[in-house]
Chains A and B, each alone.
Chain A
């Protein structure tokens, strides 16, 4: 299992355990974590699964994927260099312990 910690905008932390191949978005949905909507289900057609990867984990999660940049332009909250669409972060062994921060709003 791969542990992921979601830090809400108010600072509250929720831990979840996912499997290889889950995405940070799908894990959040399955665990009922507020703050990630994932309206399009992972087709990279909305920007409602926006998250900020914690600085310590930027290396493990890697760069944005092709097309992600375009969709982030539609994000409801501020986009910074650590912004990702969480549907595009597929869990790997190296991500065990991953911390992501959630934006104030997704729509």
Chain B
């Protein structure tokens, strides 16, 4: 069966939901929801195991167990047809599909192995000195400034300093790095203003990104070189190596910027938890896990039913786009008890902020190492983190990030 462009909705086949699946007339990508999603998350969970959103002709899940199950069920719910609303089987994506994110087994296994080796805990530990020295110097400089705008001054400044070094990039343009991430993540949403605005920079940024990922634009000792080594031994083609290096940039900058910003927001809003962390620095990593659970930096990603299947007993037809609202699952009281409380002693193992299963975030060790360095520098040097104005969120179709976070860092 084929579909003309005109019959597609957001680039995918419209569906007739099975009877019993509640329909919800809402736009989950409305900027007001994206800025403050908790009420939407709660309603989505309350409506049922799976909900039909007529506006986009998709199914959506938000309860913890079901979301985890669908998101990690790579046999029935494919990634190769895109993790956004567009079905790559029916419509060409805006860029060649990612050979790690937008691919299924068995092809995925080959590229995933290259990346998980390049980003192993051991490799991440090797960056500890670089990350700690950079974080210490950055926090020292900011402490001299009084009040700061933490998104630009810290959350963006840190990853755009250390990550290109870790990758071994000779060309650095912090703005392009952040905007490229915004583009990639907004592109998984519908064709709305957010996506159109983000994509309007593509003509300028994409060629720069592609050029900066070429072998001769990378040092011999970074993550990029590790990936190109897999081209030398025949595991990857030269082009594939370039594409995987590119994925460091699409998935590794905007996300960690968001993680750092959200951590500062959580700690500035919860001074008792900041004090608890100061008292017991061994909770740094657990604190970051709770930040991830509490804010879900990637709030929504999708899958495509590769065949007729089911969700929680409801039939699901082939080609159905299913959005998995990770943010709703990570705030599900049935799983977490008191999810609305930010508690650094929660140790929320099993949260799905990094996804789950074979497509779980391959860069998570680097993300944790970055956060460990930033939070480590702060607890050493800062006595209190105080809000200095209202936090402003930056709506995105997939990322829950701050736009502005004015704070005062009060030195020890």
A70 and B285 contact, Cβ closer than 8 Å, known pairs A40-B364, A41-B360, A43-B355: no
The reply to whether the CB of B48 lies closer than 8 angstroms to some CB of chain A is no
Contact B116 A70 (CB under 8 A): yes
Contact B350 A41 (CB under 8 A): yes
**Contact assessment for A40 and B120 in the assembled complex, using a CB-CB cutoff below 8 Å:** no
Q: What is the CA–CA distance of A46 and B122 in the complex, to the nearest angstrom?
A: 9
Give residues in A with beta carbon < 8 Å to B. Answer: 26, 29, 37-47, 66-67, 70-71, 73-74
> Taking chain B's interface residues, is the majority helix, strand, or loop, or is none over half, making it mixed?
helix
**Is the Cβ of A47 less than 8 Å from the Cβ of B121?**
yes
Which residues in window 350-366 of B have CB below 8 A to A? 350-352, 354-362, 364-365
Answer whether A43 and B117 are a contact pair too, CB < 8 Å, given A66-B109, A74-B122. Answer: no
- Are B360 and A26 within 8 A (Cβ)? no
Indicate whether B215 reaches chain A with its CB closer than 8 angstroms: no
Query: Given A67-B113, A73-B120, does the pair A43, B357 have CB atoms closer than 8 Å?
Result: yes
Tell whether A41 pairs with B113 under 8 Å between CB atoms, given A46-B365, A71-B120, A73-B120: no
Q: Is B350 touching A67 in the complex (CB atoms < 8 A)?
A: no
- Lowest 5 CB-CB distances: which A-B pairs, in order? A43-B360, A74-B121, A74-B122, A74-B120, A29-B349
Interface membership of chain B positions 91-116, coded 1 if the CB is closer than 8 angstroms to chain A and 0 otherwise: 00000000000000000010011001
Minimal beta-carbon separation of B107 from chain A (angstroms) = 14
Considering the chains assembled together, what is the distance between the CA atoms of A66 and B354 in angstroms? 21
Pair count A-B, CB < 8 A: 66
Which residues of B (57-116) have their CB < 8 Å from a CB of A? 109, 112-113, 116
B240-266 interface with A by 8 A CB criterion: none
Is there an interface contact between A41 and B354, defined as CB atoms closer than 8 Å? yes
Interface residues of B (CB under 8 A from A): 109, 112-113, 116-117, 119-122, 285, 289, 349-352, 354-362, 364-365, 368
Q: Contacts of B113 on A, CB cut-off 8 Å?
A: 66-67, 70
Question: Given that A67-B112, A67-B116, A71-B116 are known contacts, is A43 also in contact with B361, CB under 8 Å in the complex?
Answer: yes
A46-B121 in contact (CB<8A):
yes
Complex CA distance for A70 and B364, rounded to whole angstroms:
16
Name the residue on B nearest A32 (C-beta). Answer: B347
Most buried by B among A40, A47, A70: A40
**What is the minimal beta-carbon distance from A67 to any residue of chain B, in angstroms?**
6
Given contacts A42-B356, A45-B365, contact A37 B122 (CB under 8 A): no
From A26, A41, A44, A73, give the contact of B122 (CB < 8 A).
A73
Name A36's closest neighbour in chain B (CB-CB). Answer: B349
21 A-B pairs (CB sep. < 8 Å): A29-B349, A38-B350, A40-B360, A40-B364, A41-B349, A41-B354, A41-B356, A41-B360, A42-B357, A43-B355, A43-B356, A43-B358, A43-B359, A45-B116, A45-B354, A45-B360, A46-B365, A67-B113, A67-B116, A70-B120, A74-B121
Q: A47-B121, A73-B122 are in contact. Are A41 and B352 (CB under 8 A)?
A: yes
Name the B residues within 8 Å of A43 (CB-CB): 354-361, 364
> What residues of chain A lie closer than 8 Å to B350, measured between beta carbons?
26, 29, 38, 41-42
Given contacts A40-B360, A43-B358, A74-B122, 18 further A-B contacts (CB under 8 A): A29-B350, A39-B349, A40-B354, A40-B364, A42-B356, A42-B357, A43-B354, A43-B364, A44-B116, A44-B358, A45-B116, A45-B360, A46-B364, A66-B113, A67-B112, A70-B116, A71-B116, A73-B122
Interface of A is mostly: loop
How distant is the Cα of A40 from the Cα of B355 in the complex, in angstroms? Answer: 9
How far is the CB of B231 from the nearest CB of chain A, in Å?
18
Residues of B within 8 A of A41 (CB): 349-352, 354, 356, 360
**B349: contacting residue among A37, A44, A47, A74, CB under 8 A:** A37
Provided the pairs A37-B349, A45-B365 are in contact, do residues A67 and B109 lie with their beta carbons within 8 angstroms?
yes
Q: With CB as the reference atom, state the residue of chain A lying closest to B117.
A: A70
What are the residues of chain A within 8 A of B116 when measuring CB–CB? Answer: 44-45, 67, 70-71
Residue with the highest number of chain B CB atoms closer than 10 Å, among A37, A71, A73, A74: A74
Query: Which of A26, A29, A39 gathers the greatest number of chain B CB atoms within 10 Å?
Result: A39
Most chain A C-beta atoms within 10 Å of own C-beta, residue among B289, B354, B359: B354
Q: For the complex, what is the distance from the CA of A43 to the CA of B354, rounded to whole Å? A: 9
Q: Hey, which chain B residues are within 8 Å of A70, CB to CB? A: 113, 116-117, 120
> In whole angstroms, what is the CA distance A29 to B121 when docked?
20
Q: Closest residue to A76 on the B side, CB-wise?
A: B121
